[in-house]
Structure 1
Amino acid sequence: MALSLSSQIDVPTSGPILVEGILQAVCQGVIFAQAARYWECPLNDTMRMKAYVLTLVGLSLLQTMYTTYKLWYILVYFEYWSTSPLVWADLFINGLICTICETSLIRRCWKVTKKRKWVTAPLAFLLVTIFIANVYLSITLGLGSKHGEANDSPLRAERSFSAQFSFNYWIFGSLVLDVAITSILMVWLFQSKTGLENLDQALDHIVAVTWESAAVPSIFQIVAVSLYDSKSDESHHLVLFFSLMTGKLYTLGILRSLNSRPNLRGRMTSDDIGRRSLSDWQWSNESENTTSRRWSEVRTRSCPHSGVRS
């Protein structure tokens, strides 16, 4: 009996699902910690920003719950995932999270490029068409689960031309968009360096946060595209594993960048950035201040050691 049940499980494709479930749960815990830290930040964000954060956290939790259900459906019920009535939601939820996060990153690109539409308009068009392809693919998988071939891989369950085209456009378009956003933000940050050591260190911190927000999901998409291009049937769920983790990585990056603002603003307003605090300067006695400073310099030159010459 155990042999017949286990024989229904496609191990090469179910293994990545198990790893995905574990990583989704771990990332969800980190997201909760980052969200709790966000609400403790001293910055006065607008209600729109707070609603944006709540939406990301809520969708991330929904994705984790959905992945847990997928694990239960395959490893406990011993059913093929392609026969589940919720097979369509896998790609849709992740695509929705990525779209919301990438919208925020495109808005950053719009700001750093001084609102140049010729830079951000292609990014926005690519984002919208990728989301449309994602929705169409999700609908196709949902309809195919009712009469398609029973197996653990949605990529093998639906082989129509439109579904294959939508998946190709979704995965390759996402890669191009991620790389473009990351490149624009990185180039702007490196061009903003001034040569001041402490200021450049603050910019390096921004670069690191940007890398977490956009570049890490880009790496996962590159791996997914490479595996998909290998044309191996056993790599189908590895392709989905790397693609479906991008939603969690984007969410973590956005929350990380929001939580880094108080520390970064504190460093930008500190004295070691190159600015001098004038709060102790007596503007009404400028001549006395100048005389006192010159006398102090004379004493310092005449007293290179601890003693003072008479």
Structure 2
Amino acid sequence: MTILLTGVAGFVGFHVAKALLDRGERVVGVDNLNHYYDVRLKWGRLRQLVDRPGFRFHVLDISDHGAMSALAAAESGITGIVHLAAQAGVRHSMVAPFDYVSSNLTGHVVVLEMARRLGRLRHLVYASSSSVYGSNQSLPFAENDRVDTPLSLYAATKRADELMSHAYGHLYGLPQTGLRFFTVYGPWGRPDMAYFSFAEAIMRGSPITLYDGGHLQRDFTYIDDVVAGVVGCLDRPPDGEMPPVRLLNIGNHRPEPVVDLVVLLEAALGRRAVVRHAPRPAADVTETCAAVEAIGALTGFSPHTSLRDGISRFAAWYLRWRASL
């Protein structure tokens, strides 16, 4: 297959691209290499991809309809799309809302239009987020729960993407799977996420902020487990469903307190954290937990990496990366 992968220089995109190349697929990677976080990290990921057989890279903004249409015309043979490009970050959406409108809303429509016009597309897999569950109080979060109470603009854009995808499935028969990711972490991760920013603060001796005494809980999901789920879904497009669209959680099904994350980072990095406490921000939820029976039944997805093992692997990579800068 030839797979168009948007957000290929991002955390999840990079790892999915490697997995697809490892099994012999052709990957057309797209990324705009924006400066939301240190672009050296994005180039570090790309350097591991650019010389591999079957990989081609284009610096493009997915919200640029003309450029994406030209790419579709130039890259013949695309049979699948993994659409992971988006403006990420719950809190950042409160200070830069138009970035989310451009990337997450306009960008998603551009990808949908490109997908329907390809004609030969077998499957479009796209990234949604556990943030769509908003103020939902029922745990674990299940795909058939109501998701009409978002707590951030980021969450609202991701829910809008799901609804637009449903419309395109209904109107054009476009086969799609939306994946609601739950707190993905691991080597080559995103510096804006808690585990990464905590590691940097611990190494600098700077304070980290724990909300609600560190008792917020997250369903931390290791990157290798996530990649297995993404690729497994890509291989299994909706069959016989009308419209041919579905939504699946992809998480660890095991919420753990953020304070435990800090303890594990301290042990792995060999340093103590300087902790300050603050009330929970309005955009943050108290706990997340993914129901994963649906993706398990479809793909055999069964996350097995413990937080202890995952943080140990992340810390080993992080120390090497930090030393290389």
- Greater share of helix residues, 1 or 2? 1
Relative contact order, CA 8 A, sep 6+: which one is greater? 1
The two structures share one fold, judged by TM-score above 0.5: no
After TM superposition, the score normalised by the length of structure 1 is 0.29
- Greater share of strand residues, 1 or 2? 2
After TM superposition, the score normalised by the length of structure 2 is 0.28
Larger Rg: 1
